[in-house]
Amino acid sequence: MNKAKIALVGCDFVGMSLGMAVKRTLRDVEVVGHDKNRDAMRRAESAKAIDRSEWNLPRACEDAAAVFICAPHEELEVTLRAIAPDLGPNTIVATVGSPNVAALRVAEGLLAGDVPFFSTSLVYHPDRVNGDGELPGADSIRDAIWAIAPSRAASTQMVDTFVALANQMGAKPIFVDPAERDGMAVAVDAMPAILSSMLMLAVSSDAAWRDRMWMAGAAFGQAVNGAERAPSFSAALEAQPDVVVHWLNQVMLQCMALRDAIAARDTEAVTHMLTQAEERRQQWLADWRRGRIEGHIPIERDSGGLLKVFLGERMASRLAGNKKR
């Protein structure tokens, strides 16, 4: 039996975590990785996140059963133009991490009307991923939320197949409104990096920074670590100015309340604000550890064929509700 081919375009943390999950859970599958950065491909091969690398993008995606695009959003149009001629109705094409609305718009303009396209994002479990690590762990995707926005070209069968794949890899698939997901991503994905940048600018712009910079060590470095990722969010910020202004205003309101309490020497108010923030952080972590209680999304009974390519006939039958062994 020939192995089904999964193509990963982009061998960053997200791409490698997907490759590891695919290789861990799916049988008779070959994972082929492509990245403009050859070092990234070598790193993915060394980590056994991919079976082999392919420098030629169209060749990497040729005859693939699924193509996961984990490259930066600004590369999406070039990527889809390069691979579009080889895509058909039985190839799942999914972005992982691009802004949903923009990705769906680009795909609609470049892909044939029968190519199933999904704009998605992986929200990793806080306990599974160390934000400072370069390499994902073997179970990084386990219990992650996989937010999915299908294109109009994605049939019920292909949506079911994608959901089955996500479930098999240990993620929890949920369907999202593209615009709502993009708006929330500004708050929970982009804003931490943006605030890291603002802290870096505030501290380094002080007149005494040159002389006192040596007092900024590991703790400060961890606090401003997000500044490295901030430039990658510039397009998302420009695309949603009203949403960005809203969240910046919310942060500034909290900062001003803290400033006023400190200026008034109101120790009780200061302690309450900081304690409340930590309590809410702990509650957020507890909710993640408890998990979403929604059960599995049902799989249509006629989804058969393509599921068998990935999962094998027995597993595909079980996911489709067929009780025969």
Q: What tokens appear for 107 in the block?
A: 């795909």
Q: Are 316 and 304 contacting, i.e. CB atoms less than 8 angstroms apart?
A: yes
Residues facing 31 on adjacent strands: 6
Other CB atoms within a 10 A radius of the CB of residue 98 amount to 26
Would you say residue 129 lies in a domain?
yes
Question: Are 147 and 90 within one domain?
Answer: yes
Question: Are 275 and 309 within one domain?
Answer: no
Question: Are 265 and 119 within one domain?
Answer: no
Would you say residue 267 lies in a domain?
yes
Question: Are 75 and 209 within one domain?
Answer: no
Report d(CA 92, CA 106) in Å as an integer. 16
DSSP track, 34-83: E-SSHHHHHHHHHTTSSSEE-SSHHHHHTT-SEEEE-S-GGGHHHHHHHH
Would you say residue 325 lies in a domain?
no
Q: Are 19 and 68 contacting, i.e. CB atoms less than 8 angstroms apart?
A: no
**Closest-CA residue to 40 (of 53, 21, 31):** 53
- The pLDDT tens digits along the chain (325 residues) read 578 899 999 999 999 999 999 999 888 899 999 999 999 999 999 999 999 999 999 999 999 999 999 998 899 999 999 999 989 999 999 999 999 999 999 999 999 999 999 999 999 999 988 655 568 887 899 999 999 999 999 999 999 999 999 999 999 999 999 999 999 999 999 999 999 999 999 999 999 999 989 999 999 999 999 999 898 888 888 889 999 999 999 999 999 999 999 999 999 999 999 999 999 999 999 999 998 765 544 444 444 455 555 555 544 544 444 433 3
Q: What tokens appear for 128 in the block?
A: 């599974």
Would you say residue 278 lies in a domain?
yes
Task: Give kind and range of the element (H or E) at residue 178.
Answer: helix 178-185
Sequence-separated contacts (24+) of 283-289 with Cβ below 8 Å? 284/126, 285/126, 285/127, 288/125, 288/126, 288/127, 288/143, 289/127
Question: Are 155 and 301 within one domain?
Answer: yes
**Tally of structural domains, the chain:** 2
Question: Are 251 and 311 within one domain?
Answer: no
Q: What tokens appear for 172 in the block?
A: 């929890």
CATH number for the domain harbouring residue 70: 3.40.50.720
Range of the domain at 241: 180-290
Total-model pTM: 0.85
